[in-house]
Amino acid sequence: MKSKIIFEKTYYLPTFLGGLRKGWLITRTFIISKTPKRMFLRQERDVIEFRGRDELMRAIKGKKELPQEADGNRQYIPQEIKKLLIRKRKIPLKIEL
Q: Please state the pTM of the whole predicted model.
A: 0.86
User: What is the mean pLDDT of the segment spanning 69-80?
Assistant: 90
Residue pair 5/39 in contact by the 8 Å Cβ criterion: no
Name 45's bridge partners. Answer: 28
Residues 6+ apart with CB under 8 A from 42: 30, 31, 33, 96, 97
pLDDT at 90: 80
How far apart are alpha carbons 92 and 90 in whole angstroms?
Answer: 7
Q: Which residue has the higher pLDDT, 12 or 97?
A: 12
Is the pLDDT at 34 greater than 80, yes or no? yes
User: What is the mean pLDDT of the segment spanning 42-55?
Assistant: 93
**pLDDT band at residue 74, thresholds of 50, 70 and 90?**
confident
With CA atoms as reference, report the closest residue to 40 among 1, 78, 83, 85.
85
How far apart are alpha carbons 81 and 9 in whole angstroms?
Answer: 9
